Each structure stands twice: as structure tokens, then as C-alpha cells.
Amino acid sequence: MSSPMLHGVDDPSRRSGRDPAGGVPVWKLRTRDLVLDRPAVMGILNLTPDSFSDGGRLPDVAAQLERAHAFVEAGADLLDIGGESTRPGARPVAPAEELRRLAPLFERLTEIPAPVSIDTRRARVAEEALQAGAEVVNDVSGLAHDPEMAGRVAEWGAGLVLMHMRGDPPTMVEFAHYANVVEEVVEELGVALERARRAGIEESRVVLDPGIGFAKDAEQSYALLAQLARLGALGRPVLVGPSRKRFLAGEAGLPPDQRVEGTLAACVAAFERGARVFRVHDVRSARRALDVAHRIRRAGREDA
Ligand code: HH2
């Protein structure tokens, strides 16, 4: 069965965004293809009481669906739903609690007019989300936390965000030691990609994420963004998640809700270095900024 295509293919204005080197990259999700012929925006929907920037904001399913619709209207290409905060120092929640937070939205997941990604490290949670209609599993542990996760993703043929992290959220700050952060992240993501392949996950379903802020201090996060193009060596599209993170606080120590401009700068810089998918809280702003960056790139090509 051929997969339905999302955005781009039937819009001639976007065809000039084609990569002259080898066609438009496509990310295969569970039942559809996401054509990455323009920057794809992934809106963050945290159903958590304690996320670092938006915890406790979506108390019931009505509010969650309203936000989901608003994100799609503002230009989100997919939504990332999470029931566990993984900010530095966060205490893990029991799987039953993670599921309790997510269950009401799972029941109405098909009402969301965009592909849904489930941000979880647990196979049981991923399974329930996929049964409810999710298209992607976003595992911040890079398949390392739950030994059943890789097999479950393979069985379902789900899309996968494979993110780099060391340790786990309570301990990861201690692991932010690298001789060369860029080399080591590329190498460790390569190992994770090989593990995914061996578990039967098709490479075409995977996007790679350097894990900004996960076992990385501010300098390391900046170095990874600066050299993001190096991740391209692994042959898969790159997703970045700089949104409102601590490395953007600067000398003024800006709180999360004042890191939007920094987030947009980081997204545009990442786009310039090859990133294709952007996980953000501020969907409308990211959509606008990335659309302009994309037009500038296309204009440059048309001039050439
Ligand atoms: N960052 C967070 C959570 N999930 N997934 C991917 N693939 N990449 C990321 O950079 C990423 C992620 C942390 O951000 P947030 O969800 O806003 O916070 P919290 O973990 O406190 O819920």
C-alpha cells in the first residue's frame, strides 16, 4: 500500500525547494510519509505537571485538543505529546502515572488533524499511543531505556526520533564530559542507529536528534548547533529541540518564556546547517521564522 504524502507534493511553489544533490528527503511515519521539502515544525504538547516551561498548562482533554488544533492552525506539521518531564534533574514517573496523564487524549487522538508523536522512553506507553493512532515514537533515551522499545517500534513500523543522551534525566548533568562533543555525539548516534537497524527498524523511518541540553552544557549545545551538518554523515534527516532551553538564558538569565527569540535564532541556524524538523513550544513563531529562512535559501538557489 502506498503511503499518503503530507505537505508539499501537490504544491508547485514548493518544488523549487528540491535538494539539487539528490531529491527531497522523506521521513516515513507509521502510515504516511512526511515530505521534508520545507522545514517541518513539531509542536510540543506536554501533559505533565512539571515540564520546565509549560508544565500544568493543559489540565484536561478539552484544553489539550484545543491546543492541538491551535498548533495545527499555526502551521505545525506534527505534534509531540509527552507525559513525563525529562528536564535535567526530573524524577522519573511510574509508567502507570505516565499513562494516566495521557489516556484521555489517547482516546481522542484521531481528532487531531496532524500526525502525532509520542514522547516516551517506555514501550508500554508507546504501544498504547500507537494503538490509539500515533505515527511516531520519540524516545529521548535513543532506545536505551526500555529493552522492549526497539522491537515495539519495529513491529509497528512507526516513525522514530532517535535522540542522543547519556545517563538519564536525574543523572545526565554528570555525563556532560566530552573530549569532542560533536565527534562523540555523531559516533554514539551512529551506534544507536545501528542498534535500531538490528532490531528491524527501517532506516527510512528514523530521524536523528543531537539532544540539545541532554547531558550537554550550554557550550556543548552551541557547539553541536554550530556543527550540526556533521550529523548529516549518518544519512538521515536531523531533528533539533532547542526550544526555550537553558542554554538560551544568556547572561541575563532569561526565564523559559523569554527564550522565544533565542529559540528562533537556534532553529534558523540549525536549518542553515541542514536540520529538517524543529521541536518547539512556540509553533506560530517558528513556522514564520523558518518559512522566511526557507524562502531565502530557495531564492539563493534560483539565482545560482
Ligand atoms: N527535549 C525535551 C523533551 N523531549 N525530544 C526530542 N526528540 N528532542 C528534544 O530536544 C527534547 C525531546 C525537553 O523539553 P520539554 O518537553 O519542553 O520539557 P520537559 O522534558 O520538562 O517536559
Q: Report whether 236 contacts 208 (CB < 8 A).
A: yes
Q: Is 119 in the pocket of ligand 1 (CB under 6 A)?
A: yes
Do 173 and 215 form a contact (C-beta atoms < 8 A)? yes
Q: Which of 27, 58, 119 to mutate to test the pocket of ligand 1 (most atoms within 8 A of CB)?
A: 119
Q: In 10 A of CB 30, how many CB atoms?
A: 20
Compute the distance from residue 32 Cα to the ligand 1 centre, in Å: 24
pLDDT tens sequence for the chain (304 residues): 445 666 543 333 333 333 444 689 999 999 999 999 999 999 999 998 888 877 888 889 999 999 999 999 999 999 999 999 988 878 888 999 999 999 999 999 999 999 999 999 999 999 999 999 999 999 999 999 999 999 999 999 999 999 999 987 777 788 778 989 999 999 999 999 999 999 999 999 999 999 999 999 999 999 999 999 999 999 999 999 999 999 999 999 999 999 999 999 999 999 999 999 999 999 999 999 999 999 999 998 876 6
Q: Which of 121, 216, 245, 287 is catalytic?
A: 245
Nearest alpha-carbon partner for 247 in 229, 230, 270, 272:
270
For 284, the 3-state DSSP assignment is helix
- Cα 206 to its chain centre, rounded Å, is 11
Sorted by sequence, the CB contacts under 8 Å of residue 290 that are 6+ apart come out as 38, 39, 41, 267, 268, 271, 278
**Which set of grid coordinates corresponds to residue 80?**
509531540
Question: Would you call 28 a catalytic residue per the annotation?
Answer: no
Is 245 a residue of the active site? yes
pTM of the model: 0.92
